[in-house]
Amino acid sequence: DIQMTQSPNVSASVGDRVSITCRASQSISSWLAWYQQKPGRAPKFLIYRASSLERGVPVRFSGSGSGTEFTLTISSLQPDDFATYYCQQYKSYPYTFGQGTKLEIK
Amino acid sequence: QVHLVQSGAEVKKPGASVKVSCKLTGDFPTQLSIHWVRQGPAKGLEWMGGFDPEDGETTYAQKFQGRIITTEDTSTDTAYMELSSLRSEDTAMYYCARGVVKGSFDFWGQGTLVTVSS
């Protein structure tokens, strides 16, 4: 199975630029998605194929990377962005998620 | 826009089975890719299995092989996930999700809480 490892939880302030990293245990090309989840809610789809923004997602979100190293960047944090973020590989079965990175208010 | 509406919470005893439904509404193609993902209490997301309409195959995570069955009823646009031989570790929120761009998930159900307790 492909293991996905995310960067630790992070504290930040409104207006900050924040990056969350995700590392795959083997190359997944660009078959990576990012999700945002708030307590008690289902995950929300943000980015697919590593860098393509899902329709309706604010442009302050961006994704980059390929192979084994990926990054989700929020250019200017808004109050609504404080949540837990997950990466997911869909290069091969079983699809696997990172452990999650909680973005908290400083 | 697609909406996925799941069945209500369930409480089951160890060894029992649970069947969760996922009703699709909105504008979607005839053949759907529906996957199932679960999340234990204060835990991360775990993919369980799903259907790929490109090859017509259903694939399950090895961890659930022999205990999970997923089906789709195209006449009612409803997908089902049945998990058997339940144990306490199966207590979790279970989500259905639509697969797109090969295997990412754009629309999710609201989740069904399954509690396994004696």
pLDDT tens, position by position, A61-102: 999 999 999 999 999 999 999 999 999 999 999 999 999 999
CA distance B19 to B82: 4
Which of A86-95, B13-22, B25-34 has the least mean pLDDT?
B25-34
Res B16 pLDDT > 90? yes
Find the length of chain A. Answer: 106
Q: In the beta sheet, which residues pair with residue A53? A: A47
Question: Is A16 in the B-facing interface, judged by CB distances under 8 Å?
Answer: no
Residues of A in contact with B20 (CB under 8 A): none
CB A30 within 8 A of CB A49: yes
* Tokens 């329709």 sit on residue: A55
pLDDT tens, position by position, A20-67: 999 999 999 999 999 999 999 999 999 999 999 999 999 999 999 999
**For residue B53, what pLDDT is reported?**
82
**For residue B97, what pLDDT is reported?**
96
Distance from CA of A20 to the nearest CA of B (A): 16
CA distance B86 to B103: 27
Q: Which residues of A36-73 are buried (b: 16+ CB within 10 A; e: fewer)?
A: bbeeeebbbbbbbbbbeebeebeeebbbebeebebbbe
Mean of all residue pLDDT scores within chain B? 93
Q: For residue B23, what are its two tokens?
A: 């009703």
Average pLDDT over residues B104-117: 97
CB A51 within 8 A of CB A67: no
**For residue A35, what pLDDT is reported?**
98
Question: Is A102 in the B-facing interface, judged by CB distances under 8 Å?
Answer: no
Res B54 pLDDT > 90? no
Between residues B16 and B1, the one the model is more confident about = B16
Question: Is A42 in the B-facing interface, judged by CB distances under 8 Å?
Answer: yes
Confidence of residue B30 (pLDDT cuts 50, 70, 90): low
